[in-house]
Homo-oligomer: A and B are copies of this chain.
Amino acid sequence: MRFLLSLILFAALAACNQPTPKTTQENMKGKYAIAIHGGAGNLVKMNLSQEQQDAYIHALDSALLTGEAILKSGGSAVDAVEATVRILEDCPLFNAGKGAVFTHDGTHELDAAIMDGSNGECGAVAAVQHIKNPISLARKVMEKSEFILLHGAGAEAFAQEHGIESADSAYFFTPHRWEQLQDAIEDDKTELDHSEKKKASNDNAPREEKFGTVGCVALDQNGNLAAATSTGGLTNKRYGRIGDSPLIGSGTYANNASCAVSCTGKGEDFIRLNVAHEISAMMRHKNYDLQQACDSVIHGALKSVKGRGGCIALDSQGHIAMPFTTSGMFRGSIDTAGQKTIMLYEAP
A interface residues with partner B (beta carbon < 8 Å)? 1, 4-5, 8-9, 12-13, 15-16, 18, 120-122, 126-127, 145-155, 157-158, 190, 237-243, 247-250, 253, 267-268, 271-274, 277-278, 281-282, 285-286, 305
Chain B residues with CB under 8 A of A242:
126, 149-151
Flag if B286 contacts A274 (CB, 8 Å): no
Main secondary structure of the interface of A (DSSP, over half): mixed
Partner of A239, one of B15, B18, B157, B267: B157
Closest Cβ of chain B to A245, distance in Å, is 11
- A5: chain B residues at CB < 8 Å are 4-5, 8
What residues of chain B lie closer than 8 Å to A13, measured between beta carbons?
Answer: 12, 16
**Complex CA distance for A71 and B338, rounded to whole angstroms:** 59
Residue of B nearest to A266 (CB): B146
Nearest-neighbour CB distance to chain B for A100, whole angstroms, equals: 17
CA–CA, A5 and B247, complex, Å = 49
In this complex, what residue of B is CB-closest to A17? B16
Inter-subunit contact A120/B272 (CB<8 Å): yes
* Contact A120 B273, beta carbon cutoff 8 Å: yes
- 5 inter-chain pairs at a CB distance below 8 angstroms, sorted by A residue, are A13-B16, A16-B16, A147-B239, A150-B242, A247-B247
Inter-subunit contact A271/B240 (CB<8 Å): no
How far apart sit A274 and B151, CA to CA, in the bound complex (Å)? 19
By Cβ-Cβ distance, the 8 closest A-B pairs, closest first, are: A154-B240, A16-B16, A281-B281, A285-B285, A12-B12, A249-B274, A154-B239, A151-B240
- Given A239-B158, A274-B274; A268-B148 close (CB under 8 Å): yes
Contacts A120-B273, A148-B268, A286-B286 supplied; 12 other A-B pairs, CB < 8 Å: A16-B16, A126-B151, A147-B237, A152-B240, A154-B240, A154-B241, A248-B272, A248-B274, A274-B277, A277-B278, A278-B281, A281-B282
A148: B residues at CB distance < 8 A: 267-268, 271-272
Cβ–Cβ < 8 Å partners of A237 in chain B: 147
Q: Are B248 and A155 closer than 8 Å at their CB atoms?
A: no
Shortest CB distance A68–B (Å): 28
